Amino acid sequence: MSAICFYFQVHQPFRLRPYRFFDVGRSHNYFDEDMNSSIIKKVAEKCYLPANELLYDLLTHYKGDFKVSFSISGTALDQFEKYAPEVLASFQKLVDTSHVELLAETYAHSLASVASKKEFRTQVRQHVKKIYSTFGQHPKVFRNTELIYNDAIAHQVAEMGFKGMLTEGADRVLAYKSPNYVYRAHPASDFGVLLKNYKLSDDIAFRFSDQSWSQWPLSVDKYIQWLNRLPKQHQVVNLFMDYETFGEHQWADSGIFRFLQELPAHVFSSSDYAFIHPSEALESFEPIDILSVPETISWADEARDLSAWLGNNLQKDAFDSLYKLRKKIRKCDDQEILRDWQYLQASDHFYYMSTKDFADGQVHKYFSPYPSPYLAFINYMNVLSDFEIRLSRHLQTRARSIKHNQLIKKLIRDERLSTEKVPVKIREVI
């Protein structure tokens, strides 16, 4: 029997406020509270709350026969806690049904996997800890930011103890192969890979309400027919998409919620498919081949590579400027600075700097809060300039404090000064 694996990405970045050159060195307030709050509340009303309510009804009605999976970035969870606790509660209610699997990712939905192995591991561990503390579930499967993947990343993720990970079923990687199987990561190991069926996923996520599409309108019956035409020996059809597909990218009046509501019943009555979690797919199906991906792929843009975030000199300059600070960051113990460091790593900041044209360019513009990629770059670099100054000042102060404390302790050790004779103020420093 073939299976359907439904996976949804949930992510919101902390968007930056307009930050001018004259703010550098004067203000450490980087994030636009009003914008972030209003966007979370808007998307909650249009997508998260109604979609979660619908999924809850489906999950409880089918009592485990219908299953879905999510990855929820740390920055999204932080914003739910801050701006929309009812959304967080609704996700917790879904997970409590025991029919939802949560996946791990980078805490800040960052590009750390292509920048720093240490930072990558740190963020993944932090995200795993956050998922467990919030939902009581320990992720078994990993999905990297925007399904970014290559052989080296897969090796790192396997070393962290995950069973497998998700990525894009890119044509240039698969060639003649199908994405509807479980694969083994290269080099041969017990680490499995699940590939997005981008055509069937994007029929829902991108084309559903496109009236110029030859298949519009998309009905559940038509979609089931497409599934039934796939070869019977195929193992798992991976339908991976942004959760905001439901209600935000595809508005409610498009019929997207009705489509989701009716899909399970039609799958059960008109096909031989079952629904499955990613970890179950990796356990249930034997990998048919080794997947070798020496060059990095993702699920973004037509190129399905890193060009959505690192495709021009603006993006590369901002990226390099950010990650050159990582050695200093490792010496930092200021929690606010460390929090801002993570939020500044969100891949969205680099996505806004894209200068692509045509269809890809329109998608970038849709998500960007900036009038142009150049303003996105200038704003980000202004913030980063202040952040670097702030970090350096903190490390200087910390170094002086450590040196001062070491000197006093040495004096006491050398018995040049006894503890009893040390003035109260100095003992407090020690």
Q: Average pLDDT per run of 10 along the chain, which is 430 residues long?
A: 95 98 95 98 98 98 97 98 98 98 98 97 98 98 98 97 97 94 92 98 97 97 98 97 97 98 98 98 96 96 95 98 96 96 98 90 88 97 98 90 63 57 47
Q: What is the pLDDT of residue 31?
A: 98
Tokens representing 156?
A: 């790192």
Q: What is the pLDDT of residue 426?
A: 42
pTM reported for the whole predicted model: 0.92
- Give the Cβ contact number of residue 297 at 10 Å: 21
Q: What is the pLDDT of residue 428?
A: 47
What does DSSP say about strands 182-185 and 192-196: parallel, antiparallel, or unpaired? antiparallel
Indicate which residue of 101, 105, 119, 146 is catalytic.
146
The third-level CATH classification (topology) of the domain covering 3-291 is 7-stranded beta/alpha barrel (3.20.110)
Model confidence pLDDT, tens digit, residues 139-186: 999 999 999 999 999 999 999 999 999 999 999 999 889 999 999 999
Find all residues with CB under 8 Å of 136, minimum gap 6, and list them: 95
Q: What is the pLDDT of residue 188?
A: 76
Question: How far, in Å, CA of 199 to CA of 106, rounded?
Answer: 26
Contact 353, 371 (CB under 8 A): no
Residues making up the chain, counted from first to last: 430
Contact 243, 68 (CB under 8 A): no
In the numeric block, the tokens 């990993």 are attached to: 142
CA distance to 107, 191, 231, 237, 339, per residue, from 180 (Å): 29, 17, 10, 5, 39
Q: Is 33 a catalytic residue?
A: no
Find all residues with CB under 8 Å of 143, minimum gap 6, and list them: 7, 9, 71, 103, 104, 105, 165, 166
Question: How far, in Å, CA of 283 to CA of 315, rounded?
Answer: 39
Q: Which of 360, 283, 338, 279 is nearest to 71 (CA)?
A: 279
Q: What is the pLDDT of residue 62?
A: 97
Question: How far, in Å, CA of 329 to CA of 341, rounded?
Answer: 8
In the numeric block, the tokens 């795993």 are attached to: 128
Find all residues with CB under 8 Å of 322, minimum gap 6, and list them: 344, 345, 384
Which one-letter DSSP state was computed for residue 218? Answer: P
**For 294-414, where are the alpha helices, taking DSSP H only?**
307-310, 313-323, 326-329, 335-343, 347-351, 358-367, 373-413
